[in-house]
């Protein structure tokens, strides 16, 4: 499954980040996912539950922020949001657009960490 490998790499990179905070637990991971990244949020959530088992991310929440496709239309001289993925045409003037500005993202936006109080 495509999503499982994505989630595994997210878990890896969050775990790496956590190395600087011994004993910390992750509360929430926020992702930015473009519509063209070809991932299904439900699958991400499902895989997240599996991939985080036994890691410092176990029990944390995955928040997925889906991003619309944004292209730049030369005719209109501005960035326009594309609703469908079937045809990339400017919703303002109808011209085909190909200058992608947003839509392929697949990145961690932020990580919320629960810092554990040190008890000696
Ligand atoms: Zn246009």
* pLDDT tens per residue across span 65-109: 999 999 999 999 999 999 877 889 999 999 999 999 999 999 999
> Which residues make Cβ contacts (< 8 Å) with residue 23, sequence separation at least 6?
116, 118
Going from the Cα of 73 to the center of ligand 1, the distance in angstroms, rounded, reads 5
State how far the Cα of 12 lies from the Cα of 16, in Å rounded to an integer. 6
pLDDT at 76: 97
For residue 84, what pLDDT is reported? 78
Residue 1 has pLDDT above 60, yes or no: no
- Are 34 and 104 in contact, with CB atoms under 8 Å apart? yes
Look up the pTM and report it: 0.84
pLDDT, tens digit, 9 for 90 and up, residues 11-66: 999 999 999 888 888 999 999 999 999 899 999 999 999 999 999 999 999 999 99
Q: Looking at residue 85, what is its pLDDT?
A: 77
Could you tell me the distance, in angstroms and rounded to a whole number, from the CA of residue 64 to the centre of ligand 1? 29
pLDDT score of 81: 96
Distance from the CA of 36 to the center of ligand 1, in angstroms?
20
């Amino acid at each position: 499954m495509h999503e499982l490998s994505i989630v595994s790499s997210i878990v890896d990179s969050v775990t790496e980040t956590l190395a600087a905070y011994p004993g910390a637990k992750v509360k929430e991971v926020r992702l930015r996912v473009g519509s063209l990244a070809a991932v299904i949020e439900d699958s991400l959530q499902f895989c997240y539950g599996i991939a985080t088992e036994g890691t410092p991310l176990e029990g944390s929440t995955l928040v997925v922020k889906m991003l619309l496709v944004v292209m730049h239309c030369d005719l209109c001289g501005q960035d326009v949001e594309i609703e469908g993925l079937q045809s990339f045409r400017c919703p303002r003037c109808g011209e085909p657009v190909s200058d992608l500005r947003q839509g392929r993202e697949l990145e961690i936006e932020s990580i919320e960490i629960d810092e554990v109080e040190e008890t000696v």
